[in-house]
Amino acid sequence: MTMYLVEYGETFIFIIMLIASIVALAVGAERILIFRKSLKNTEAILPTLTAEIRNGNLNSITSLASENPGNIYAKFSQFSVENYGAGHDGLSELQEGRIIGERIDLENHLSILNTLGNNAPFIGLLGTVLGVIKAFYGLGTLGSTGAEFVMRSISTALLATAAGLGVAIPVVMANNYFSRKLKIIQANLEILSREFLASLSRKK
């Protein structure tokens, strides 16, 4: 069993790296589509929403939300308008829950990228270790005549570490990108929440 692991473990690691890269690409593409949909027309919508909230034009906010059903800020504003009658404290609690819900939706599948980014280098290193073990086993079996085989085996083994880093680096960069976007979205939602609460306070 041990020798089978040593013999084919390195190949198995390369297969794992291939699968990991496919999964990372799929998750990254899916999250890009979700974030683009959630942030569509944001540059135009966000300042308009802020102005309409400050002016107390709730009907305009509803119209803007209906015209941009996928935009996260429009949806949040529509939700706030629908619960505007709950009062300051009630609306604040509802908005906080909504923000948490939106964050959970946007964070969906990001844990996969985080896991791959953290563990891909170690999986690649395991492949290198197995390859080096295989190389030295071959050296012990073939003796001095197997030096060329050993060198080839070690160079192939080092490719496993390179593959692990090749997967991990772009995955970590993608995860950091989405995490940064998520922080900005949450901050903007909290700003909109404060605008609605301030609007309620002015009407007292």
- Residue 143 scores a pLDDT above 60: no
Question: pLDDT grade, residue 9 (50/70/90)?
Answer: low
- Residue 120 scores a pLDDT above 80: yes
- Exposed, middle or buried, 111 (CB in 10 Å: 0-12/13-18/19+)? exposed
CB of 120 closer than 8 Å to CB of 168 = yes
pLDDT for residue 32: 94
**pTM reported for the whole predicted model:** 0.83
Mean pLDDT, all residues of the chain: 86
Question: pLDDT grade, residue 107 (50/70/90)?
Answer: very high
The amino acid at residue 198 is A
